[in-house]
Amino acid sequence: MKIKQIMKILEAEAIGAQHDNRDIKTGCGSDLMSDVLVFTRPGSVLLTGLTSRQVIYTASTAGVEAICFVRGKTPPKETVELAKEKKIALMTTNFPMFESCGRLYNKGLIGCSEPAGVSEK
């Protein structure tokens, strides 16, 4: 799914640089960084309410390509700048986490299910 499609589904507004044509393969919703690190796969979009710089470091390490802030949250300047440096697309939606995940799932974006570094149990 392209980023611009995601933005349409979530009625989201872009923050900073545009990366409309990137292809996103999976979706992940979380407010806990350890969760993001382990359960997110490269090429995914992260839905979160957290706006700190750590979110960007975590996302970058996990290989996340885009972050959508839910509940209308907008990140501070430092976060936006770091995201630009790491080439992570940012956007914000007014929908809460539940609605956002629901909508994307409904439109066919699958979730990341396999944790990194752990064999399937």
Partner 1 sequence: MKGKTWLFGTSESVGKTKGKTQRLPRSQKTKEVQKTHQLSYELKIKEAMSKKVLTLKPNRTMMDVRKVLKDHRFTGIPIVESGRLVGIVSIEDLINCLRAGSMETRVKDIMTTKVVTLFSDEPLIHAINKFGSYGFGRFPVLDRDSKKLIGIITKQDIIRCLLSTLQSLYHARESKKGNRYQAARLFADLPSDWTTMILKYHVKGGDFGKAGEKSDQLKGNLLKLGYSDEQIRRLIISALEAEMNLVIFTSGGDMIAQIEPGKITVKVIDNGPGIPDIELAMQPGYSTAPDFVRELGFGAGMGLPNIKNCTDEMKLESRLGKGTNLEFSVYA
Partner 2 sequence: MKLKELVKSLNLKVLVGMDLLDRDVTGGYASDMLSDVLANSDKGYVWVTMQIHPNVPAVASTKDLSGIIIVNGRKPEAQTLTKAEEKKVPILLSQRSTYQVVGRLYELGIR
Interface ranges with partner 2 (CB under 8 A): 27-32, 35, 39, 47, 49, 71, 96-99, 101-106, 111-113
Closest to partner 1 by CB, 61 or 94? 61
Kindly state whether residue 57 participates in binding partner 1, applying the rule CB under 8 A.
yes
Kindly state whether residue 84 participates in binding partner 1, applying the rule CB under 8 A.
no
For residues 19 and 54, what is the distance between their CA atoms, to the nearest angstrom? 21
Closest to partner 1 by CB, 48 or 93? 48
What are 44's strand-pairing partners? 26
Pick from 5, 60, 71, 97: which binds partner 1 (CB under 8 A)?
Answer: 60
Which amino acid is present at 19? H
- What's the DSSP call for residue 114? S
Closest to partner 2 by CB, 9 or 84? 9
Kindly state whether residue 54 participates in binding partner 1, applying the rule CB under 8 A.
yes
Shortest Cβ 74–partner 1 spacing (Å): 16
Nearest to 29 by CA among 112, 92, 118: 112
* The 26-29 sheet, strands edge to edge: 13-15, 89-92, 66-69, 44-48, 26-29, 110-111
